[in-house]
Structure 1
Amino acid sequence: MAKKSDRTGEQLPVHKVIMVGSGGVGKSALTLQFMYEEFVEDYEPTKADSYRKKVSLNGRECQIDILDTAGQEDYVVVRDNYFRSGEGFLCVFSLVDRETFAAASDFRDQILRVKVDDHIPIILVGNKLDLAEESREVTEEEVAAMAAQWGVPYVETSAKTKVNVDKVYYDLLSKVAERKTLPAEAPSSGGDGDTKCSCVLL
């Protein structure tokens, strides 16, 4: 697994985000746009890549650790290990590819099976908004209904034009950081205090 890391601020809290979704939906494009403010049209990773960046969240510095999965992991155990390490997930599909929208439910099921936690922070992301005006295959109403069923936020993005790219990462970071404060304040909340306590990094 490639490691592309910003070495500054090693003692800062680290929040671990996992990118999931079918191949070709733009997970890598979103990640590279957020990390380096550049758009890569044809990026086809053959394995997962990990990135780390220092950011300011609600006025406090921290680090985001992003694992960009390849979309079709060869081994279930490898995929499960990736998911197990995550503290928050961006579940990405393409607005111009209905099959990737259908596959998003499978990715969520895999996450919940590994995490055993119905309240793990997840944001449903419809990417390629820049192509949606002419080639959209998934309506906003359909996605809103799925997001409501999951009980998660839904955001439409464009890695190419950077629409809502920073938003989805910072929104997820806020949810992850907020969740890490829950064990001390409400250890019995949701009945999964053990899994949440293991996520606290100081």
Structure 2
Amino acid sequence: MSEHKYQVVIAGPGSVGKSAITLQFISQQFIRDYDPTIEECYKKHIFVDNEVAYLDILDTAGQEEYSSLRSHHFQNGDGFLLVYSCDNRKSFEEIGEFRDEIIRAKDDDDVPIVLLANKCDLPKTDQQVSKKEGQDLAKSYGYSFLETSAKSVINIEESFAQCVREIRKKRAVNNAPQSTTGGKKKKKCYLM
């Protein structure tokens, strides 16, 4: 696989705006009508930190009946945008389940994930999840956090760019030379 190619999977509960984020990123369009996604694939290239990134983007279904299909897609993902909606506490509470599903599918606790709080442009009175709650959850997992809005085009491109950065960090760690001594000095053994 090319070091400049990245498979980004967008995951999270249904109706949180995963497709709206994706379509805003791909075609600069905001779709108002909700039509449940089974899966949609897109390709786009962007520049992240002055380096090209070729993205294969998979927009996944949030509904429970598609969980087996999601697991297959999670296995192949390099990085993930994990999305909940600010105006839906249940979607926020379900993030842990999606995170666990990703970790099981990848068989790795250190997966490049960016947590997105979507619909951040809604009035505070309509929001059920505060920015601090989202930040605290992301921090507890060790993930980056962004507030997004597909409608108002807030942090859409930055979300994908941050996911690419997280994937690059993971690849750098995986490609780093491994010390066989665990950082400790080898003891010499003398035979007499």
Query: TM-score scaled to structure 1, two decimals?
Result: 0.82
- Number of the residue aligned with 1:117: 108
Answer yes or no: is 1:179 the counterpart of 2:170.
yes
> Per-residue deviation at 1:76?
3.9
Matches within 5 A, 1:2-151: 13-72=4-63, 74-151=65-142
Aligned identity (percent) is 37
CA contact (8 A) 1:144 1:154 kept: yes
Structure 2 unmatched runs, 5+: 180-192
Work out which of the two has the higher radius of gyration on C-alpha atoms and give 1 or 2.
2
Aligned length: 178
Q: Deviations over 1:16-72 (max 9, x none)?
A: 011111111000000011111111111414410010002122222231111000211
For 2:140, what is the secondary structure of its paired residue? helix
Q: 1:62 to 1:148 in 2, by over 3 A?
A: closer
Q: Distance in 1 between matches of 2:153 and 2:163?
A: 17
> Per-residue deviation at 1:77?
3.1
Q: Distance in 2 between matches of 1:76 and 1:96?
A: 23
* AA of the residue aligned to 2:13: S
Q: 1:42 to 1:186 in 2, by over 3 A?
A: farther
* Equivalent residue for 2:148, pick from 157, 164, 173: 157
For 2:164, what is the secondary structure of its paired residue? helix
Query: TM-score scaled to structure 2, two decimals?
Result: 0.86
Q: Which runs of 4 or more aligned residues in structure 1 lie more than 4 Å from their structure 2 counterparts after TM superposition?
A: none
CA contact (8 A) 1:73 1:79 kept: no
Answer yes or no: is 1:169 the counterpart of 2:160.
yes
Structure 1 unmatched runs, 5+: 1-10, 189-202
* AA of the residue aligned to 1:80: S
Q: Distance in 1 between matches of 2:53 and 2:132?
A: 35
For 2:146, what is the secondary structure of its paired residue? strand
Q: Distance in 1 between matches of 2:131 and 2:156?
A: 18
